[in-house]
């Protein structure tokens, strides 16, 4: 979307004022009318991102229109960048909230801030203001609230407060454990890891207990070592051993290497022998060497394997992209440590060859390999020199021990707390108060929707 088609900077629109407005295409053709606004709740108190609009078509079918399609919010209509929209029926997802249908009229609590008006009182949400962020998304930046009315009190005035000024609207507040599990199923493990640590301890333990071993292992692999130890202490030893078995051997070795020797030895003893063996081998090496960084489970083929077999192996959806970039050919046995290492073949090269050709005929035999004792600086130079995302680790006798991937190298090159800073980046899409010209009450801007919040009783249906 070009800059000149975006809603002008500083726009703040109260949702109750746009419900029922016509939705028009770029040539003025009527598509439908706004029924509601869809936002994605967050685990913390950050303002939720506005995902799009629920639009009623003339046929009474209810569809979803992404907010990025909106090019203009005017007093009488909302204009889209294109008249082509998906006719798929709108279905709400677990982490989504309908602003009009579910947020307005909700009771929330003001966060105490030292001001008499913000004394922790219960208030009712009567409207919500959506506004642009630094990333040109939209977010619910402010809420119009009114103190709850009793029989003996007059109707209180409406106040407009920042989203963070109230509590009770995060995903944690509004979802039970099963609801959170449904949300986590749609998220990447790295995002789940950050969200899990942000939960209150009791809810965090409930979610951990409900996750299956494989999913919990994926989440563990994306956590800092300190967070891993905290959750590991919550698990009983047998469950902890099961989760370690489900983790990638190199990640399990990293975690066990941070534990006291006695605790590490006890967990290794509880693991199945075939699962603990590669972890024990990795623990022999320092964590900042190729032997300590490598995974012992790269894609390994025999010399008589065909290109088709190689492509079938790297097509496995459970294989990390870095490991899928290269196959390694070795003489039997093909489990690490293997027989003699013969060479590697890049996935791109396999795609250029006939499926019935042998992988052994397209090997790169001249590329250097990593020594298991190579330190981190050597590994980084090796990856930069050969433009690789994965590299073989071979011992002095020519046996393939495993492969180092670029994500493991970056993980050790970055500061120890890089995952915490990565989670904090989500806050960069906060609404820009400095561009909104005050609270926006009682004013109309030319060509834009009325910016004054309506009371809950005057919403359009």
Q: DSSP for 171-218, please give it.
A: HHHH--HHHHHHHHTTS-HHHHHHHHHHS-HHHHHHHHHHS-HHHHHH
Domain extent at residue 334: 300-407
Q: How many domains does the chain have?
A: 4
Same domain, 94 and 7: yes
> What's 26's domain CATH number?
2.30.30.240
Confidence check: pLDDT of 413 > 90:
no
The whole-angstrom separation of Cα 208 and Cα 204 is 6
Same domain, 259 and 340: no
- 176 pLDDT tier (thresholds 50, 70, 90): confident
Which range, of 81-85, 371-375, 455-459, averages the lowest pLDDT? 455-459
Same domain, 355 and 304: yes
Confidence check: pLDDT of 354 > 60:
yes
- Beta-ladder partners of 64: 54
Report how far apart, in Å, the C-alpha atoms of 18 and of each of 34, 340, 372 are: 7, 70, 63
Same domain, 183 and 231: yes
The whole-angstrom separation of Cα 160 and Cα 282 is 57
- 309 pLDDT tier (thresholds 50, 70, 90): very high
Confidence check: pLDDT of 426 > 60:
no
Same domain, 73 and 141: no
Confidence check: pLDDT of 395 > 90:
yes
Confidence check: pLDDT of 328 > 70:
yes
Which range, of 74-78, 165-169, 433-437, averages the lowest pLDDT? 433-437
Instruction: Examine the fold and report which residue of 284, 311, 339 is the final residue of a domain before the chain moves on.
Output: 284
Same domain, 97 and 146: no
Same domain, 119 and 44: no
The whole-angstrom separation of Cα 105 and Cα 120 is 18
Same domain, 250 and 314: no
Q: Is residue 270 part of a domain?
A: yes
Q: Is residue 357 part of a domain?
A: yes
Average pLDDT estimate for 57-82: 89
Q: Is residue 319 part of a domain?
A: yes
Instruction: Examine the fold and report which residue of 168, 193, 220 is the final residue of a domain before the chain moves on.
Output: 168
Confidence check: pLDDT of 275 > 80:
yes
Same domain, 330 and 350: yes
Q: Is residue 430 part of a domain?
A: no
Same domain, 247 and 184: yes
Predicted TM-score (pTM) of this structure: 0.66
* Average pLDDT taken over every residue of the chain: 84
How do residues 89-136 score in pLDDT, each as one tens digit? 999 888 888 999 988 988 888 887 644 444 578 889 999 999 888 877
Instruction: Examine the fold and report which residue of 168, 192, 207 is the final residue of a domain before the chain moves on.
Output: 168
Sequence-separated (6 or more) residues with CB below 8 Å from residue 405 = 295, 320, 322, 323, 389, 390
Which range, of 101-105, 296-300, 393-397, averages the lowest pLDDT? 101-105
Same domain, 327 and 399: yes
Q: Which residue's structure tokens are 């960048």?
A: 81
> What's 194's domain CATH number?
1.25.60.10
Q: Is residue 431 part of a domain?
A: no
82-105: burial string, b at 16+ Cβ within 10 Å, e else = eeebeeeebeeebbbbbbbeebbe
Q: Is residue 317 part of a domain?
A: yes
Sequence-separated (6 or more) residues with CB below 8 Å from residue 438 = none
Same domain, 179 and 203: yes
Number of helices and strands (H, E) in the chain? 17, 18
Report how far apart, in Å, the C-alpha atoms of 143 and of each of 110, 347, 454 are: 11, 52, 12
Cβ count near 35 (within 10 Å): 21
15, 37 contact by CB (below 8 A)? yes
Would you state the pLDDT for residue 449?
Answer: 40
Q: Which residue's structure tokens are 């071993």?
A: 213
Would you state the pLDDT for residue 168?
Answer: 83
| H-type alpha helices, 315-456 | 347-352, 376-386, 406-413, 418-424
Bridge-based pairing of strands 22-24 and 30-40 is antiparallel
Q: Is residue 81 part of a domain?
A: yes
Cα angle 311, 362, 380 (rounded to 5 degrees) comes to 80
Would you state the pLDDT for residue 422?
Answer: 56
Q: Is residue 460 part of a domain?
A: no
């Amino acid at each position: 979307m070009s800059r000149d088609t975006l809603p002008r900077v500083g726009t703040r629109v109260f949702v109750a004022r746009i419900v029922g407005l016509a939705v028009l295409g770029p040539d003025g053709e009527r598509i439908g009318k706004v029924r509601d606004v869809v936002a994605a709740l967050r685990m913390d108190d950050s303002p939720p991102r506005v995902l799009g609009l629920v639009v009623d078509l003339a046929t009474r079918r209810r569809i979803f229109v992404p907010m990025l399609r909106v090019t203009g919010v005017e007093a009488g209509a909302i204009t889209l960048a294109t008249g082509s929209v998906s006719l798929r029926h709108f279905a709400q997802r677990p982490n989504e909230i309908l602003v009009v249908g579910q947020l307005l009229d909700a009771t929330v609590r003001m966060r105490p801030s030292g001001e008499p008006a913000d004394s922790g009182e219960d208030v009712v949400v009567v409207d919500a203001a959506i506004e642009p962020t630094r990333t040109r998304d939209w977010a619910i930046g402010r809420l119009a609230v009114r103190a709850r009315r009793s029989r003996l009190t007059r109707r209180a005035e409406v106040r407009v407060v920042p989203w963070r000024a109230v509590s009770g609207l995060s995903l944690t507040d509004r979802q039970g454990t099963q609801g959170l599990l449904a949300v986590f199923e749609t998220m990447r493990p790295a995002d789940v890891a950050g969200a899990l640590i942000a939960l209150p301890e009791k809810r965090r333990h409930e979610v951990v207990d409900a996750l299956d071993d494989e999913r919990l292992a994926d989440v563990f692999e994306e956590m800092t070592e300190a967070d891993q130890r905290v959750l590991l202490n919550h698990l009983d030893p047998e469950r902890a051993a099961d989760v370690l078995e489900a983790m990638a051997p190199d990640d399990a070795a990293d975690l066990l290497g941070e534990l006291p020797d006695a605790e590490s030895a006890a967990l290794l003893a509880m693991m199945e022998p075939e699962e603990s063996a590669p972890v024990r081998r990795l623990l022999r090496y320092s964590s900042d060497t190729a032997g300590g960084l490598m995974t012992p489970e790269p894609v390994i083929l025999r010399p008589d394997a065909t290109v088709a077999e190689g492509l079938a192996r790297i097509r496995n959806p459970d294989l990390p992209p870095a490991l899928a970039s290269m196959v390694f050919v070795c003489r039997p046995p093909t489990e690490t440590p293997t027989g003699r290492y013969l060479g590697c073949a890049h996935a791109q090269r396999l795609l250029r060859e006939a499926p019935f050709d042998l992988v052994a005929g397209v090997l790169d035999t001249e590329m250097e390999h990593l020594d298991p004792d190579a330190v981190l600086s050597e590994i980084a130079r090796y990856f930069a020199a050969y433009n690789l995302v994965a590299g073989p680790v071979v011992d002095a006798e020519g046996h393939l021990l495993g492969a180092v991937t670029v994500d493991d190298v970056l993980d050790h090159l970055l500061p120890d707390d890089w995952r915490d800073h990565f989670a904090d980046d989500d806050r960069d899409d906060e609404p820009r108060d400095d561009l909104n010209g005050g609270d926006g009450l009682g004013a109309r801007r030319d060509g834009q929707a009325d910016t004054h919040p309506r009371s809950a009783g005057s919403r359009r249906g």
